Amino acid sequence: MYRKFARRAGSFGGRPRFRGARGGGRNTGSDIHYSKFINKAVITEEVAKFVPEHLFKDFNIDDRIKANIFAKGYSEPTPIQDKIIPHVLRGSDVVGIANTGTGKTAAFLIPLINKVLLNPKEEILVVVPTRELAQQIESELKTFTEGMKIYSVCCVGGAPIGKQIRDLRYWNNFVIGTPGRLKDLIERRVLNLAPFSTIVLDEADRMLDMGFVADMKLIMSKMSKTRHTLFFSATMSREVEQLIKEFLKEPVTVSVKTGDTSKSVDQDIVRTAGKEKIDVLHDLLNSPELSKVLIFGKTKHGVERLSRTLAERGFKADSIHGDKNQNARQRALGKFKKDEIQILVATDVAARGLDIPDVTHVINYDIPATYDDYVHRIGRTGRGGKKGKALTFVG
C-alpha cells in the first residue's frame, strides 16, 4: 500500500543528507527550485471538513483515558487517530504516514495506554530521533495518564545517565528514548529489552536521516520476537519502506498525507540579493504579525551567532542547537513556548518534531539542505488547526 510513495524518494533526491555530508559533496540546497518554497495557503477552496468515523467515546478504551482526553480539550480524533487507533487496539502492526502536526503522538499513546491498563505488566519502548521530542512525548503521556499508576522514564543523550540508570531500576511501563542513549543503556546492561513486546518508532524517517539505522536494528533485535510494532513517519522513501518490510509483520498502513506540506502553511520566498540578510530579517521581525518566529540556520555556530546578533539588536531571541547543553536548550525552548521570547533560532536537528503551540512564522534564514528538511521545518507552524506562514530567504 505504501509502495506508491517509492517514486517520491527519487524526485527530490531523497538520500539521507547525513550520508551526503560525510561523503563530501554536501547538498547545499541550491538544487531545490525556489518554486518549491512558494505555495499560497488555499483559502478559497475550503477543504471539505474532515468527518471522523469515530468519536473518542466510541473507542473501546478505558473511561479514565477518555476523561483525560476531554480534559485536554480534544473534541474529536484527527484523521490519523481516527483511522489508526482501532488497529492498534486490535494489536496489529501499523504504519502511520501523516503530515507533521496531525496528532501522531496521541494516535499511538492513547491505544498503548489502554494496553497498559489492560495489562499492567506491559512494557513499551518509544524510540524517537531527538531528546526534545522524547521529553515532549513523556509530558504528553503524563497528561493522558493523570491519576493512573503508569510509570515512564526518558532515556536521552545530553542528560545525566546516572539518573536514568537509577530510574530504570524502578518499574516503568514506558521507556522513551533516543537510539544512541538506549543502545548505551543496553550495553551497560541496565536496560533489558527482553520483556518489551511493544515498540513505537516515531519520526522513523528522521531517525534514518540521522544515521540511527544500525542502533534501531540493534534495539529491535533485543526485544521479544513476538513484537507489536508501531511505525510513524511524515515521509516515505525506499529506506523507510525497507525498514518496514524487515521489521513489521503484515502491517496495516494508514496514510493521511495531503501533499508534501500542510495546506495550513502559507509559503513564500524573500529575496535578499543586494541586501544584507540580517537587515532584511531585522525589518521583517519588526512587523507585529511576526509574534512567534522560529528561524532555521544551517550550522550550530551560525545559529548561535544569529541569535546573539538579534539579541544585540534588541529582539527577544534565544537558540537551540547541538552545542548547547540540555538544560540551556530546555530553558530556551520553555521561554519560547511561554511567549517570553519572540524568536527561537534553531538547527534542523534541534527543532525536529517539536510541537510548539502557535508558531506564527517559520523563517528559513539558510536554505534547507533537502526538500525533506524543508517540509519538516515548515511543519513547525500551521499546527493544530491554526494557519502559519513560512518564509525562505533566497539570494
The contact set with ligand ADP (CB under 6 A) reads: 74, 77-78, 81, 98, 100-106, 355, 357, 383-384
Q: How many CA atoms are closer than 13 Å to the CA of 33, on its beta-carbon side?
A: 5
Beta bridge partners of 97: 233, 255
Q: Which is nearer to ligand ADP, 377 or 383 (CB)?
A: 383
Q: Which is nearer to ligand ADP, 20 or 86 (CB)?
A: 86
Least Å from the CB of residue 287 to ligand ADP: 26
The Cα 68–Cα 104 span in angstroms is 17
Please name the amino acid found at residue 359.
V
The Cα 181–Cα 277 span in angstroms is 38
Helix (H, G, I), strand (E, B) or coil at 296: strand
The β-bridge relationship of strands 174-177 and 124-127 is parallel
Least Å from the CB of residue 216 to Mg ion: 17
E strand segments, the chain: 94-97, 124-127, 152-155, 174-177, 198-201, 228-233, 252-255, 265-271, 293-296, 317-320, 343-346, 361-364, 388-394
Least Å from the CB of residue 381 to ligand ADP: 12
Q: Which is nearer to ligand ADP, 1 or 55 (CB)?
A: 55
Report how many residues bind Mg ion under the rule CB under 5 A. 1
Q: Which is nearer to Mg ion, 107 or 343 (CB)?
A: 107
Q: With CA atoms as reference, report the closest residue to 27 among 164, 154, 209.
A: 209
Least Å from the CB of residue 289 to Mg ion: 27
Report the site for Mg ion in 88-127 (rule: CB under 5 A). 104
345 binds, among Mg ion, ligand ADP, none (CB under 5 to 8 A by kind): none
Helix (H, G, I), strand (E, B) or coil at 226: coil
Least Å from the CB of residue 353 to Mg ion: 5
Least Å from the CB of residue 35 to ligand ADP: 25
106 binds, among Mg ion, ligand ADP, none (CB under 5 to 8 A by kind): ligand ADP
DSSP of 328-368, one letter per residue? HHHHHHHHHHTTS-SEEEE-HHHHTT---TT--EEEESS--
74 binds, among Mg ion, ligand ADP, none (CB under 5 to 8 A by kind): ligand ADP
Q: Which is nearer to Mg ion, 343 or 359 (CB)?
A: 359
Q: Which is nearer to ligand ADP, 106 or 134 (CB)?
A: 106
Positions in the binding site for Mg ion (CB under 5 A): 104
